[in-house]
Chains A and B, each alone.
Chain A
Amino acid sequence: MPHDHDHDHDHDEGSALSPIALRVKALESLLTEKGYIDPEALDAIVETYETKIGPRNGAHVVARAWSDPAYKAWLLKDATAAIASLGYTGRQGEHMVAVENTPETHNLVVCTLCSCYPWTVLGLPPVWYKAPPYRSRAVIDPRGVLAEFGVTLPETTAISVWDSTAEIRYLVLPMRPQGTEGWSEEKLARIVTRDSMIGTGLPRAAA
């Protein structure tokens, strides 16, 4: 079925594109023609978040904290500086706070008002993090949300939810799994999942 749109360029692939894809394509050519954007800068931005900035950054931070008590203490005291020392700085990570999971307290991060997320350590947020089910329920029913992620906590564990309403960005420091004694930082980093740093998951069990 042909798309009903008012985009009047001739593109070979035009008929295969959705209305939103066509709209964005039209915007890109318009903004390029008007000189507001450098198309190569768009590619550089995308490449940055596809290849350089992602959850492996956060996993590095967590693995370092698990391996080095002094680093962990620094991370919990001044996360912005401790994370910057590993080279992770910038947009949506300007003001970092790390919150530590313990047997007594499990931390869960949300942004009920939009999609605030610690890009420098986790990359771009997944769709579910930005969507109404998670944003509406994480604050009122965190245990129900965790159950949907397959996480069930002891009844005695408190859940501490962090609603990112300002420019402070939160990184959860998960508990180091048992059976990982003597592991290298690199090996530890491989069991640190993205969700374990949001609080909707736990590190992969030590195998």
Chain B
Amino acid sequence: MNGPQDLGGQMGFGPVAPEKDEPIFHAPWEKKALALTLAMGATRQWNIDISRHARESLSPAQYLGSSYYEIWIAGLIKLMLAAGLVTEDEVSSGRMKVAAKKVAGKLLARDVAAVLAKGGPSSRAATTPRFKPGDRVRAKNMHPVTHTRLPRYLRGHVGEIVTLHGTHVFPDSNAHGQGENPQALYTVRFAARDIWGDARHPKDTVSADLWEAYLEPA
């Protein structure tokens, strides 16, 4: 979706503001925001693509007016409401009003290290790729109202396949309960001038990791 998350090339946000000796967390609640988000993943009521979509489909005003952990908490609440894990009343009161839903799992303290060290690879059994390194491809001009990982600033532009990463879960379907639809994932390199015009440095490039369904021969 052409939502507030799709920031590449937008203007007006001002300078980057690195913080000297930035702490890992800026307030105790940020620690909980991270930990709650990770721990609730163990209920397996959603996947990473559904959760990204929950965040990007916040209203632009809310998304751009929130810190990243505020976005995470807003996204987590949306996910839990949609999955029927909690009710609005419970979220605002902090007290249980209806019985818990039966879920697939719960992250226990003793399993945290192993779960974090294992991660969740997105690679799947190999499929036959349509393109190979060196091929010229065009990022499709597409504007789905649903989740996609093809940024707007690349749509319609021609680049070169530099790497085939094998076959990976396709977020556009996985975010909407339409299955993993695994397909080839490529790094595609674009000349900065092709995307942004002649004011850019002639040698600069931008590369992105794009699924086969985003690409057509050029």
- Which residues of A are at the interface with B, using a C-beta cutoff of 8 A? 6-9, 17-18, 20-21, 23-31, 33-38, 40-46, 48-50, 53-54, 89-95, 97, 112-115, 120, 123-124, 126-128, 130-137, 139-140, 142-143, 145, 148-149, 155-168, 195, 200
Contact = CB atoms under 8 A, between A and B. Distances in A.
A93 to B, nearest CB: 7
Contacts of B203: 156-159
Interface in B23-70: 24-29, 31-36, 38-40, 43, 52, 55-56, 64, 67-68, 70
B204 interface: yes
B85 A36 contact: yes
A20 B77 CA distance: 13
Give the secondary structure class of B's interface.
Answer: mixed
6 contacts: A21-B28, A43-B35, A53-B116, A157-B203, A159-B204, A168-B187
Interface string B192-206: 100110001101111
A95 B123 contact: yes
Nearest to A160: B205
A34 B94 CA distance: 10
A126 B22 contact: yes
Contacts, number: 280
Residue in A112, A123, A200 with the greatest tally of chain B CB atoms within 10 Å:
A112
B209 interface: yes
A45 B31 CA distance: 9
Nearest to B18: A128
Contacts of A157: 203
Interface residues of B, number: 94
A172 to B, nearest CB: 13
B130 interface: no
Contacts of B92: 6-7, 26
B73 A24 contact: yes
Contacts of B208: 162-163, 165
The 8 A-B pairs of least Cβ separation, nearest first, read A26-B94, A158-B203, A112-B8, A166-B209, A40-B109, A42-B35, A44-B112, A21-B29
B144 interface: no
A195 B20 CA distance: 12
Contacts of A143: 201, 204
B199 to A, nearest CB: 10
Contact of B100 (A20, A36, A45): A36
A45 B116 CA distance: 8
Contacts of B17: 128, 131, 133
Nearest to B64: A132
A200 B107 CA distance: 35
Contacts of B151: 112-113, 163, 165
B39 A91 contact: no
B15 A166 contact: no
A128 B29 contact: no
A45 B113 CA distance: 8
A113 B15 CA distance: 18
Contacts of A113: 5-8, 52, 56, 149, 151
B132 interface: no
Contact of B19 (A35, A97, A115, A126): A126
Contacts of A200: 18
A45 B38 contact: yes
B36 A24 contact: yes
B51 to A, nearest CB: 10
Contacts of A132: 7, 10, 13, 64
A75 B88 CA distance: 48
Interface string B135-164: 000000000000001110100000000010
Contacts of B73: 20, 23-24, 27
Contacts of B205: 158-161
B116 A90 contact: yes
A165 B211 CA distance: 10
